[in-house]
Structure 1
Amino acid sequence: MGQDTKNYNNIASSPLLEPLPSSNSKRASKLQTLGNIIVTVVGTGVLGLPFAFRIAGWVAGSLGVAIVGISTYYCMLLLVMCREKLASEEPLGESNTYGDLGYRSFGTPGRYLTEVIIVVAQCAGSVAYFVFIGQNLYSVFQGQGLSMASYIFMLVPVEIGLSWIGSLSALAPFSIFADVCNVVAMGIVVKEDIQRAFGKGFSFGQRTMITSNIGGLPFAAGMAVFCFEGFGMTLALENSMQDRRKFPILLAQTFGGITLVYILFGFCGYMAFGEETRDIVTLNLPRNWSSLAVQVGLCVGLAFTLPIMLHPINEIFEGKLKIILRNNNDSTGLENICMYISRAIVVVGLAVLASFVPEFGVYASFVGSTLCAMLSFVMPATFHLKLFGSSLPIWQKALDSIVLLSGLFFAFYGTYNTIVGV
């Protein structure tokens, strides 16, 4: 029994991604890490921001995105600090996963609860990718006689192949390509928005500043939280970087830029389409060649982003498989075969779930209000308070408590508003 426990801890404490060699030359450079941060954080949620601004108003929406961005960055730093504390206490410095933090904070139940939340949250985010791609391809190729689910399942073989790639450094070229696709597509969308808005001669008075429907604010906030997805990849990104001391500064610079782009994107989209803004803003665009190219470009970019979303899911599942196989003295070759099969099953299962999602906007807000709020705010603040305890200054205890309680309140109240409708 003691040996089994030791094996479990050795496997469970491995990084979220495949362990990288000790040589820094094998790790991700600053540019590669930058690309991976952007492609991890920026996803489908950004295209729902104009709809969130429509619900909340452009002033409330801008402030909300800024607050969510700053809070998410702070909580990412909390995770890194917790990992560093535990790694310094381990003989081999092997505390690298979210699950490790849960285990050291609350024992085995903490590990299982943490891993369940990560798996469900990452699955929900991955489903959103499938839904977005399917919905946009269906819009682009109208009249072809195919359903949205058909386009989702066409993506499955590609995603299975990409999911078999083992490390962030190996995925970096795909990440950079996805970043280029997303930036170009978003730039064209903003250009279309500005041309439409100023071409119609609108005034700010025609757009809502702060909604009178208070119940709409949590809904919009859920969309904003969902935009800063990929939180479960924080420790993997930090662990993959050559000079990990520079990670907080790089993360701050990247988050600052992403937050400003989010505000600009949501603002321009709402100004352009007003109360006609749809839950995915690309569906508002006219059916011309540039707009269709934008939708296809975004789909391509997100298709290459999806494998990074799947990494935490695969790592947890594969950790459990390794325990079972090694306890049965099975060979490493069988482990590799099971890894490929499990990753394929994950992709197929998520595609099936995506085919049943009825509406992107409501789904994104629900995921942001529940899973993303727990993963991004509640759990990091809880771990930090638990692991550092009395060594924290009073101001940081108060700040962590505010983040924790606000995250819980937002999760419950935002979920309620999403379910009953805005």
Structure 2
Amino acid sequence: MERDTKSIGTPLVESSKRATKLQTLGNIIVTVVGTGVLGLPFAFRIAGWVAGSLGVAIVGVSTYYCMLLLVMCREKLASEEPLGEAGTYGDLGYRSFGTPGRYVTEVIIVVAQCAGSVAYLVFIGQNLHSVFQPQGLSMASFIFLLVPFEIGLSWIGSLSALAPFSIFADVCNVLAMGIVVKEDIRLAIGEGFPFGERTTITSNIGGLPFAAGMAIFCFEGFGMTLALENSMQDRRKFPILLAQTFGGITLVYILFGFCGYMAFGEETRDIVTLNLPRNWSSLGVQIGLCLGLVFTFPVMLHPINEILEGKLRIILRNNNDSTTVLGNIGKYISRAVVVVGVAILASLVPEFGVFASFVGSTLCAMLSFVLPATFHLKLFGSSLPTWQKILDSIVFLSGLFFAVYGTYNTIVGV
């Protein structure tokens, strides 16, 4: 569930005040790590703990490489013609393939943002349904109960007012991971990890792309790459810092997925917090996660609202209507419609794990692998050494194949 507040046409991170190395480290972690990590033990259950570990490692390395491709493409274009303060993913699409390139790139980003918003509501709905089971309400009922509140939050003009809740959600994420690990340790001491009963590599081939889709979904915030690099004081150190951060995140992901699967085995749920015992600590973390996501949900909708409101301003301008009252009314209506539309989509999603894998297999694979490799091959062309052309082609073809095959397996089930 991406927490990026990406603006399609403008830089995402204000560059008037450059970030230190430590601040950039924090920004990378907050941008990349989201609630998708709580689905990793389920991915390990589907793929097996050996295949799951290798898969997360491969996805981590590949995502890091493709992030560097974006930075190199932006640097090349900036040396030829000014791109503004940061340039955007859409700018690279435009410089590579003209207006169609910008259109395709931005549509994928917006749809991905919408899918991330749906995933937020599905996650909240499943956890609230788990906590308040005696009330007899369905997951969809909890989602629709939140709609009026989310509409009100979406009308708040300043996203900075919601920033503390984003931090709160990250704290709850860490607490949830800590409680899962504590449960793992308890089982290890009391019963021991039954390695022999856990799958190493699944015999169901379809389970591998399904689990890989979830792993890709966990490496969020790919569209923030250019803004993060641009915000750093010493941009030359960004690749090294990114490598160190990704190495740490990947290791934590592998250990968390492994421990969660070892603890709960074939009973591992698509959101591992649903496996926790119903005591005050686990229930508190679940409620805390939901509260944090409820308040940061409008941040997820920001890019969508920005584009719709931009179109609305164009319509008013073309009709020679400069009335700000009509513009404000239209803004409030459009934001309410977006919230209701996303809630309806979320109510139709069967479960978090299936949806996360679907988003990872399609939108995230396109953004993270296919487009960066395509831009790099197009912009650098014959100047690239043969080995890098081959590597980029492998990334492109693998990402494209995975998007098609992974989508198929997610739809038909594993």
* TM bin (shorter chain): 0.7 to 0.9
The correspondence for 1:15, drawn from 3, 10, 26, is 10
User: How has the CA–CA distance of structure 1 residues 13 and 143 changed in structure 2, closer, same or farther, with 3 Å as cutoff?
Assistant: closer
Deviations 1:381-408 (CA, angstroms, capped at 9, x unpaired): 1111111212222222221111101101
User: How has the CA–CA distance of structure 1 residues 197 and 227 changed in structure 2, closer, same or farther, with 3 Å as cutoff?
Assistant: same
**Counterpart in 1 of 2:126?**
135
1:77 deviation in Å? 1.9
Distance in 2 between residues matched to 1:31 and 1:48, nearest whole Å: 28
Indicate the SS of the match to 1:143. helix
The correspondence for 1:199, drawn from 159, 183, 190, is 190
Deviates more, 1:271-280 or 1:329-338: 329-338
In structure 2, list runs of 5 or more residues that go unmatched: 1-6
**Counterpart in 2 of 1:210?**
201
For normalisation by structure 1, the TM-score amounts to 0.86
Would you say 1:100 and 2:95 are equivalent positions? no
Deviations 1:333-361 (CA, angstroms, capped at 9, x unpaired): 46566555444432332122111111222
Distance in 1 between residues matched to 2:313 and 2:236, nearest whole Å: 32
Distance in 1 between residues matched to 2:127 and 2:211, nearest whole Å: 22
Distance in 2 between residues matched to 1:249 and 1:343, nearest whole Å: 40
1:82 deviation in Å? 1.9
Assess if the C-alpha contact under 8 Å between 1:62 and 1:263 holds in 2: yes
Distance in 1 between residues matched to 2:285 and 2:162, nearest whole Å: 23
**Counterpart in 1 of 2:338?**
346
Deviates more, 1:79-88 or 1:396-405: 79-88
Distance in 2 between residues matched to 1:410 and 1:23, nearest whole Å: 40
The correspondence for 1:178, drawn from 169, 174, 185, is 169
Distance in 1 between residues matched to 2:235 and 2:323, nearest whole Å: 31
RMSD over aligned Cα, in angstroms? Answer: 2.8
Would you say 1:230 and 2:221 are equivalent positions? yes
Amino acid at match of 2:31: T
- What pairs up with 1:31-42 in 2 under 5 angstroms? 31-42=22-33
User: How has the CA–CA distance of structure 1 residues 122 and 290 changed in structure 2, closer, same or farther, with 3 Å as cutoff?
Assistant: same
Distance in 2 between residues matched to 1:151 and 1:282, nearest whole Å: 18
**Counterpart in 1 of 2:291?**
300
Amino acid at match of 2:390: A
**Counterpart in 1 of 2:61?**
70
Assess if the C-alpha contact under 8 Å between 1:115 and 1:316 holds in 2: no
Would you say 1:410 and 2:402 are equivalent positions? yes
**Counterpart in 1 of 2:354?**
362
Assess if the C-alpha contact under 8 Å between 2:39 and 2:271 holds in 1: yes
**Counterpart in 2 of 1:120?**
111
Amino acid at match of 1:15: T
Distance in 2 between residues matched to 1:315 and 1:410, nearest whole Å: 31
For normalisation by structure 2, the TM-score amounts to 0.88
Deviations 1:102-161 (CA, angstroms, capped at 9, x unpaired): 111111221211111111112112111110111101110111243322322343455446
- Identical positions, percent: 87
**Counterpart in 1 of 2:373?**
381
Amino acid at match of 1:60: A
1:221 deviation in Å? 0.8
User: How has the CA–CA distance of structure 1 residues 222 and 276 changed in structure 2, closer, same or farther, with 3 Å as cutoff?
Assistant: same
Assess if the C-alpha contact under 8 Å between 2:86 and 2:230 holds in 1: no
Amino acid at match of 2:10: P
The correspondence for 2:275, drawn from 284, 306, 309, is 284
Indicate the SS of the match to 1:155. helix
Deviates more, 1:97-106 or 1:194-203: 194-203
Deviates more, 1:181-190 or 1:302-311: 302-311
User: How has the CA–CA distance of structure 1 residues 84 and 343 changed in structure 2, closer, same or farther, with 3 Å as cutoff?
Assistant: farther
Assess if the C-alpha contact under 8 Å between 1:122 and 1:232 holds in 2: no
Distance in 1 between residues matched to 2:376 and 2:65, nearest whole Å: 11
Distance in 2 between residues matched to 1:306 and 1:29, nearest whole Å: 28
1:33 deviation in Å? 4.3
**Counterpart in 2 of 1:401?**
393
Assess if the C-alpha contact under 8 Å between 1:182 and 1:301 holds in 2: no
